[in-house]
Amino acid sequence: MPEPGGIDTNLALLGRCGEMGRWGDGELRELGELRELKEIIRRVQEEKIIAAQLMEARRCV
């Protein structure tokens, strides 16, 4: 399965919309949801890095 927000997913969305000749509400909503999920994943990854750095700092003290 393609990665959400990845190039394969976006191309698949564009292909489906191209077949219809225009962007449909469902595709726009799906693309927006994928962008939101990608942003949430990015924030969680940043928080994991910060948590790991804090744990490492505690060990050094």
- Does a structural domain hold residue 22? yes
Mind spelling out the 3-state secondary structure of 7-55? HHHHHHHHHHHHHHCCCCHHHHHHHHHHHHHHHHHHHHHHHHHHHHHHH
Domain-located, residue 19: yes
Give domain status of residue 32, yes or no. yes
Structure tokens at 42: 């990015």
Would residue 18 count as lying in a domain? Answer: yes
State the pTM of this model: 0.52
Residue given tokens 């940043």 in the structure block: 46
User: Block means of pLDDT (10 residues each) for the chain, length 61 residues?
Assistant: 56 55 69 88 94 91 74
Residue 2 falls inside a structural domain: no
Instruction: State how many domains the chain has.
Output: 1
Give the domain extent around 22: 7-60
Indicate whether 1 belongs to any domain: no
